[in-house]
Amino acid sequence: MALPQRSHLAKHWNLDPECVFLNHGSFGATPVKIREEQQKWNDLLEDEPVRFYEDLAMGFMEDARNALAEMLHCNADDLALVENATSGVNTVLRSLKFHQGDEILVPDHAYQACRNAIDFVAQRWGATVVTVNIPFPIESPQVVLDTVMAGVSKRTVLAMIDTVTSPTGLRMPFEQLVEQLEAKGVAVLLDAAHGIGMVPLSLDALGASYTTSNCHKWICAPKGSAFLHVRNDLQHLIHPLTISHGMTFPLGDTTRFRHEFDWTGTRDLSAACSIPATIDYVGNMVEGGWPAIMQHNHDVVIEGRNIICERLGIEAPCPDDMIACIATLELPEGEDTGIPLHEPDPLHKVLQDKYGIQVPVWSWESPKGRYIRISAQLYNHVDEYHYLADALATEFDIEQYQERIA
């Protein structure tokens, strides 16, 4: 099969021309100009390292936080720049104190690395992890709300909620969840790894206790750029994973939170420094800026999902409004591949080796199934989903598949 075309905006990226890249969701992809921008920051650093770290870095970090704050509708001082969402989640969980019997609530669709962090911390403090099972396929956001809220007890102190779930690609009704959970005194740790650039975020209005999001996914910033937002009244509770000079540095006119997070040892700041240029550059690729980009990617992924569903003769597992820019479908032999999450699914390899398609395929324990997840970013074209649908139709006995899921 001839490789499908990409969109006219793919010229901004340097993606492998032999690859049909339908997995923006895992690690993002950074435009060429932004990779050059990052190199400029590296050059500036290495031209005079002492000047960079001692005189300039704080100002650049402030610029990055200001650019993020404008997009996130929040106070720049409530943001800390971290390397990735996993670090953001760990920063919160490992700062907080729990009591024996406290309950930490988490849906079964949570990202495994973050779930691991919850289990680690719960074990350390003698807290209980309460897992709520959200069905998939699912009929409406109300099912999520009802299921999560039914898991709350008098002992629930924290809930980790995704903006968009990783294995099932569900856009959670996180705004309502945050409102209802926080109103009950349950602090929400919002895992918005798929957040900024994928779904509109107004953090002050949202009111979540803690929010972390990757910049290297949906705004296409360089790898290792993410933020943690901590609500102002909770900042005294949260410390970086790495304790450094900030703990004792004279306060001056700033906060301990700022001091502690602004210096966590010598590290590569080039990705974080590239955030303002990224927001500006990618945001200007489409008329209408970021809201238009999010809508465009949503529309493309819905179209892609429809193309595959139609080709395989299956129903979409959730309504369109529970999708942002990634979409998951269940595959044949969903229940009995027996392949653990960390082992590659043979279909992933077939799609990659035989068709040149990069798309995740995995088995998930709960909700149990074998899933494929497509992404849509500005460089994608609907032809790519037709191509994937043809490949899937070739690899599966469609009639048998349809009988199984009927």
Q: Which is closer to ligand PLP, CB of 5 or CB of 120?
A: 120
Q: Is 225 in the site for ligand PLP (CB under 6 A)?
A: no
172 to 201, contacts with ligand PLP by CB under 6 A? 191, 193-194
Q: Is 38 in the site for ligand PLP (CB under 6 A)?
A: no
- CB of residue 43 to ligand PLP, shortest distance in Å: 25
**Which residues share a beta bridge with 229?**
79, 211
Q: Is 23 in the site for ligand PLP (CB under 6 A)?
A: no
Q: Is 401 in the site for ligand PLP (CB under 6 A)?
A: no
Q: Which is closer to ligand PLP, CB of 85 or CB of 272?
A: 85
- CB of residue 364 to ligand PLP, shortest distance in Å: 13
Q: Which stretch binds ligand PLP (CB under 6 A): 31-39, 61-69, 84-92, 230-238?
A: 84-92
Taking alpha carbons only, the member of 200, 297, 275, 249 closest to residue 37 is 275
Q: Which stretch binds ligand PLP (CB under 6 A): 109-117, 276-284, 293-301, 333-341?
A: 109-117
- CB of residue 114 to ligand PLP, shortest distance in Å: 5
Residues 296-335, one symbol each (x = binds ligand PLP by CB under 6 A, - = not), give ----------------------------------------
Q: Is 72 helix (H, G, I), strand (E, B) or coil?
A: helix
C-alpha span between 190 and 198 (Å, rounded): 14
Check if the beta carbon of residue 187 is closer than 8 Å to that of residue 238: no
Q: Which is closer to ligand PLP, CB of 26 or CB of 254?
A: 26
Q: Which is closer to ligand PLP, CB of 355 or CB of 362?
A: 362
Among 30, 86, 213, 380, binds ligand PLP (CB under 6 A): 86
Residue in the structure block whose two tokens are 């005294």: 236
**Strand-strand pairing, 79-82 and 128-132:** unpaired
- CB of residue 181 to ligand PLP, shortest distance in Å: 18
365 to 394, contacts with ligand PLP by CB under 6 A? none
Write out the two tokens for 182: 């926080």
- CB of residue 184 to ligand PLP, shortest distance in Å: 23
C-alpha span between 50 and 262 (Å, rounded): 16
Q: Which stretch binds ligand PLP (CB under 6 A): 108-116, 228-236, 293-301, 351-359?
A: 108-116
Among 85, 105, 138, 273, binds ligand PLP (CB under 6 A): 85
137 to 176, contacts with ligand PLP by CB under 6 A? 162, 166
Among 13, 111, 174, 210, binds ligand PLP (CB under 6 A): 111
Check if the beta carbon of residue 122 is closer than 8 Å to that of residue 128: yes
Q: Is 330 helix (H, G, I), strand (E, B) or coil?
A: strand
Residue 179, CA atoms < 13 Å, CB-side half-sphere: 7
- CB of residue 192 to ligand PLP, shortest distance in Å: 8
Q: Is 214 in the site for ligand PLP (CB under 6 A)?
A: yes
N-terminal to C-terminal alpha carbon distance within the chain:
30
- CB of residue 25 to ligand PLP, shortest distance in Å: 7
Binding site for ligand PLP (CB under 6 A): 26, 84-86, 111, 113-114, 162, 166, 191, 193-194, 214
